[in-house]
Amino acid sequence: MERGSNAGDPQGHAAHDLIARIFTCSAEVAAQVMRRGRVCAYAGNATILRQGDWLSTAFLLLFGRAQALLYSADGQMVLLHEYNPGDLFGALGELEPVRQEADVRALEDARALVLEAAEFALLAQQHGCISLALSRMLLKRLRKTTERMYERAAISAMGRVYAELLRQARACADLTIRPAPVVAELALRVATTRETASRAVNGLERRGIIRRSPDALVIVAPRRLEALIM
Amino acid sequence: MERGSNAGDPQGHAAHDLIARIFTCSAEVAAQVMRRGRVCAYAGNATILRQGDWLSTAFLLLFGRAQALLYSADGQMVLLHEYNPGDLFGALGELEPVRQEADVRALEDARALVLEAAEFALLAQQHGCISLALSRMLLKRLRKTTERMYERAAISAMGRVYAELLRQARACADLTIRPAPVVAELALRVATTRETASRAVNGLERRGIIRRSPDALVIVAPRRLEALIM
């Protein structure tokens, strides 16, 4: 774990603004949050937390992205959560240390504000805006997790790849995913093997439902793709 | 859906106390929460919410138990969440109506305080104790859901039945589950078929790891049972 500090941090102001936005709180409350924690920096691919660690700190991701990952009995990686700037993870509301449920890995260079869980609980108690933001975040994460659980129970692995492609394409202009999705990343997201994800994507291309170029993947026939999700 | 009312409700006082306990709030705040909602009663097995409904109400379970259930592609029921008195479900923090993610079914006679989601959001904004209680509840539910997702990915169906039996037994005196668990209920909890759950339990009995009587199931060799979870 690399450790940075607040002093002389050129990104300090940006972090400050971000905290005010995350908690929809005043600049004073944001400054108070910043003062209670320390900013830690992680290189891309670094492990921020290890599954099984006993933890008494909360992490507020400020820059970069991270993923919570588990390993199944047969060694397959399972994606549990994705964290973006503004997301919290670690020990959030518990008064006792908690056992970290998954590895958390930085996907790229990342910075997080690290706070003692007890300090964070106190801040949430003192400032309604913080506890509200926390419950909104948890609610969103719970819905996302539930959706994943449902998909894994209800939809075949191929179908989950199709659904993920549609989701990504619909978030982009012209149903074009740019850069083209990495097969390993697709597989991780929908809890299947690279082989299955690769078979699914190749099959769609052969049938003319998608078109691939070196830097993008276009969904040509979204209706047909949707009909294949089962 | 059966509708009751607050007026002349003999359980009104108990509900009032329960709300004060759930939110660790004053009697005045509890009374305010009660006034903003209406108490609805559900018979055992009644469907409280249907998957796919557009929802703008929050439910606070006051008495009885309920389950959130999904149906997988092959028609198997999947248990998403279990709700006990004090648990919240439905539209909790959203300002827009949300699509209900699962059927919610009362397991026995149940009562819930039903509030407009907007009213509930306002209460959480006004009273820090309510938003804190909400985030603690969501955090607990998220951990439980994550644990279920992990078990389903990492442990075989037979192993999940063993783990569930151990969990239930450890919550009881003398490792004795009383009344004996219903096989269909075990299967639902660990997302497997009745046949698999039944095979797992019968196998344990044959090997002398558990003992069954008409009204109880005793774990005789917890260490051996633990070693089988994989």
pLDDT digit string, tens, across residues B118-132:
899 889 888 888 888
Count CA within 13 A, CB hemisphere, residue A122: 10
- Report ipTM for this prediction: 0.74
The predicted pLDDT at position B76 comes to: 73
Contact B125 A124 (CB under 8 A): no
Asked whether residue B76 falls in the same domain as residue B113, the answer is: yes
Asked whether residue B136 falls in the same domain as residue B161, the answer is: no
**Residue A21 pLDDT > 50:** yes
Count CA within 13 A, CB hemisphere, residue A132: 20
CA A133, CA A137: separation in Å to the nearest integer?
A: 6
Asked whether residue A123 falls in the same domain as residue A171, the answer is: no
Residue B8 pLDDT grade (very low, low, confident, very high; cuts 50, 70, 90): very low
Percentage of chain A beyond pLDDT 90 is 54
Count CA within 13 A, CB hemisphere, residue A205: 12
The predicted pLDDT at position B6 comes to: 44
Q: Does the residue A175 lie in any domain? A: yes
Q: Does the residue A18 lie in any domain? A: yes
Q: Bridge-partner residues for B106, per DSSP? A: B66
- Total residues found in chain A within this entry: 230
H or E stretch covering B146: helix B128-154
Which residues from chain B sit within 8 angstroms of residue A139, using beta carbons?
Answer: 92-94, 138
Asked whether residue B126 falls in the same domain as residue B60, the answer is: yes
How is the beta sheet containing B103-106 ordered, strand by strand? B47-49, B103-106, B66-71, B77-83
Question: What CATH number corresponds to the domain at position B214?
Answer: 1.10.10.10
Looking at chain A, which residue has its C-alpha nearest residue B192?
Answer: A153
Residues 6+ apart with CB under 8 A from B205: B211, B212
Domain count, chain A: 2
Asked whether residue A52 falls in the same domain as residue A103, the answer is: yes
Residue B149 Cα, gap to closest chain A Cα (Å): 6
**Residue A94 pLDDT > 70:** no
Asked whether residue A87 falls in the same domain as residue A105, the answer is: yes
- Mean pLDDT for A208-227 is 94
pLDDT digit string, tens, across residues A163-209:
999 999 998 889 999 999 999 999 988 888 899 999 999 999 999 99
Find out whether A21 and A86 touch, Cβ atoms under 8 Å.
yes
Nearest to A154 among B72, B141, B150 (CB): B72
Q: Does the residue A89 lie in any domain? A: yes
Asked whether residue A20 falls in the same domain as residue A68, the answer is: yes
Q: Does the residue A22 lie in any domain? A: yes
Asked whether residue B109 falls in the same domain as residue B219, the answer is: no
pLDDT digit string, tens, across residues A35-80:
999 999 999 999 999 988 999 999 999 999 999 998 776 677 888 8
Among the candidates A100, A124, A150, a domain finishes at A150
Asked whether residue B59 falls in the same domain as residue B136, the answer is: yes
- Of residues A90 and B149, more confidence is placed in A90
What is the residue whose two structure tokens read 């379970």?
B61
What is the residue whose two structure tokens read 């917890």?
B222
Which residues from chain B sit within 8 angstroms of residue A104, using beta carbons?
Answer: none
Residues in B whose CB is inside 8 Å of some CB of A read 70-73, 76, 78, 80, 92-94, 101-102, 124-125, 128, 131-132, 134-136, 138-139, 141-143, 145-150, 152-156, 191, 230
**Residue B144 pLDDT > 90:** no
User: Helix (H) and strand (E) counts for chain B?
Assistant: 8, 14
Question: What CATH number corresponds to the domain at position B86?
Answer: 2.60.120.10
The predicted pLDDT at position B2 comes to: 43
Report the candidate in A217, A223, A185 with the shortest Cα–Cα distance to residue A202: A217
The predicted pLDDT at position A67 comes to: 95
Instruction: List helix spans (H) across A171-193.
Output: 183-189
- Mean pLDDT for B207-220 is 94
The predicted pLDDT at position A172 comes to: 87
**Residue B9 pLDDT > 70:** no
Q: Which residues of A185-210 are buried (b: 16+ CB within 10 A; e: fewer)?
A: ebbbbbbbeeebbebbbeebeeeebb
**Residue B146 pLDDT > 90:** no
**Residue B143 pLDDT > 60:** yes
**Residue A13 pLDDT > 90:** no
Among the candidates B97, B129, B153, a domain finishes at B153
How far is C-alpha A68 from the chain's CA centre? Answer: 7
Which domain, by its residues, includes A87? 12-150
Asked whether residue A16 falls in the same domain as residue A84, the answer is: yes
If you average pLDDT over each of A1-15, A29-43, A144-158, which comes out highest?
A: A29-43
Q: Which residues of B146-166 are buried (b: 16+ CB within 10 A; e: fewer)?
A: bebbbbbbbbbbbbbbbbbbb
Which residues from chain B sit within 8 angstroms of residue A131, using beta carbons?
Answer: 128, 131-132, 134-135
**Residue B160 pLDDT > 80:** yes
Asked whether residue B27 falls in the same domain as residue B119, the answer is: yes
CA B121, CA B104: separation in Å to the nearest integer?
A: 22
What is the residue whose two structure tokens read 């026995």?
B108
Residue A5 pLDDT grade (very low, low, confident, very high; cuts 50, 70, 90): very low
Residue B182 pLDDT grade (very low, low, confident, very high; cuts 50, 70, 90): very high
- Of residues A96 and B113, more confidence is placed in B113
Residue B90 pLDDT grade (very low, low, confident, very high; cuts 50, 70, 90): very high
The predicted pLDDT at position B139 comes to: 86
Q: Does the residue A201 lie in any domain? A: yes
Whether residue A179 is preceded by a cis peptide bond, meaning omega within 30 degrees of 0, is yes
Looking at chain B, which residue has its C-alpha nearest residue A229?
Answer: B73
Residue B4 pLDDT grade (very low, low, confident, very high; cuts 50, 70, 90): very low
Among the candidates B133, B153, B173, a domain finishes at B153
**Residue A8 pLDDT > 50:** no
Residue A2 pLDDT grade (very low, low, confident, very high; cuts 50, 70, 90): very low
Asked whether residue A140 falls in the same domain as residue A181, the answer is: no
The predicted pLDDT at position B34 comes to: 94
Residues 6+ apart with CB under 8 A from B10: none
Residue A133 pLDDT grade (very low, low, confident, very high; cuts 50, 70, 90): confident
